[in-house]
Structure 1
Amino acid sequence: MKLLFLLFVGIVLYLIAKGYKTEKFENIKLNVKEKFDGDLMNHEAGLLVALMAKVAKADGQVCDLEAEMLKHTFTDISRHFENSDEIREKLKVIYSKEKESFDNTLEICEKLYKITKNHYQKRVKIIEYLLNLAFIDKEFSQTEFMIAEDIANALKIKRTDFENLINAFENFYREQKENKALSLDKAYEVLESNKDDDNNTLKKNYRKLVKQYHPDIVSGQGASQSIIDDATKKLQEINEAYELIKKDRGI
C-alpha cells in the first residue's frame, strides 16, 4: 500500500539524516488512516514487524538501540490505522512470537512478495529498513548478514542493490567511527592529556585548565575584556572535551 510505502521511506530517510539517533525519532504525520480488522500476518505491517523480529534476534540479543527503534516502529505504523491501539498490541504480539524462531522466515517473505510483487522499490526500502536495524548497534554479524541475504533473495532483490545497501551502511558507520576518533584525539589535546592517562590524571588536568581559563579568575587578574571573552570560549571547549571523553570512558 502507498501508505506504508511512504512510512518506510520516511523512516529510513529520517534516520539517515539524523545519523540513526533513535532518541530523536520524529513521528511521521499522515492524514489518511486505514481500518483493518483482519490477520496482520496478511498485511504489510505485520509482515514487516515479523521480519524485523528475525533480524533483531539474528545475533542472539536485542540491544537498547534496536529496542528503541522497534518501539517507535510499532507506534508509527499503528498510528496509520483507525484502531491504532489494537494494531500496536497486535504488532507487539507478532514481534514476540516471530523472534522465537527463524523457521518460517521464507514463508513470511513469500507473503510479503505477493503483496508487493509490482512494487520493487518498496521491497528495496524494506530491505534498507531491515539492514538499518541490523547495523544500528554498529556491528553487522555474519548471522545478521545471512538472514538479511535470505530475506533479500526471497523478496527478489537484485544482488547489486543488496550489496550497495550494505556498502552504504558500512561506509556510513566507518566514517562515523573515524570522525569519533578524530574528535576524541582533539578532546585529549584540548585537555593537555593523552589516552593512556587514568581517570584521576584526566580530572586533575581538567581542573587545572578550568582554574586557568575560568572567566571570573581571569577577570580578577585584571585582564582585558577581549582576553576574558577568549577565556570563556576556551573554558567551553574544555568542558565539551571533558564531557566527550567521560562519555567515551563511561565515567
Structure 2
Amino acid sequence: MRIWGRFFGTLLGFMVGKIIGAVIGFYFGYKFDKGLGGDFGAFNQQNETQRQNDFFNITFAVMGHITKASGQVSEDEIAFATAHMNRWGLSGDVRQAAQKSFRDGKQPHFNLQEQMKKLKRVCFGRKDLLQMFVEIQIQAAFADDNLHPKEREILHGIGASLGIPARHLDFMLDRIVAGEHFHQQGSQQSPQQQKQHLSDAYKILGVTPQSSARDVKKAYRKLMAQHHPDKLVAKGLPPQLMEDAKQKAQDIQAAYELVSKQAA
C-alpha cells in the first residue's frame, strides 16, 4: 500500500490552506498513490514475465551448448529439451524463442560466460533459481545416460561462474544422477536393482550407510527446505517450475523413507 502521496499531499495542503487544504491535499495524494500503484504493479508484472522468459532462454541456450559438447546432439538430448518445454507449458512466441536459444547454444561462437553474467543478473538474489538452473543442466548432460568429459568441463565452468566449488558440483552430479535412476526404478526389482536403489537413495540424501540416524534426518530436512514446493512458491518460483520441484521433493521423501527403513 502506497501512502507517500497522501502524506505529502496532506502536509502541503495543510501548510497552504489549513484543514480545507489538508483535505484537498489528501484527496489528490490518494489519486496519485492509486495511479502510481497501478502503474508500478503493471511494471512489476511485466518485469517478472521478462525475467522468466530470460531465464528460460538462457536455460535452453546453455542446454544446447552442453548437449553439443560431445560433438553431436543425441535424440535423447533433443527429447529432454522438448519434454521440458512441454512440462513448462512453453507455447507460441515463448516456445519459439526457447527453440532458437537451444539452436544458438549449439553454435561454435556461443559465449557461455556472457550467458552466465546475464543469468546472474536475471536471478539476482534468487539462489533457488540458480540451483534449479544447475540441476537442469546436469540432467541435460546425462540425458543420454553418458557424461562426456567435455560436458563435465562445461558444467564445472558453469559452477565456477556461479561460485559453486568443484567439490560441491561433483556432489550435485552424483546426487542428481542418483535421483534420475531412483525415479525411474519400477516396483518390481531384482536383488541387484534393490541394492542399487538403496545406493541411489543414500546419494540423493548425501549420506552413507555409516551415517547416523541424526545425520540422515538432518540431511533430509536440509534438502526438503531447499526443494519443498511450498517454500519455493513463497520465494516466487515461476509456476512453470513447480512440477520439477514437486518431483524432487517426492524423490527426497522416498529416499529418506527407504534409508530410514533400512536403518530400522
TM-score calculated relative to the size of structure 1: 0.49
User: Whose helix fraction is larger, Structure 1's or Structure 2's?
Assistant: 2
- Larger RCO: 1 or 2 (CA < 8 Å, sep 6+): 1
TM-score calculated relative to the size of structure 2: 0.47
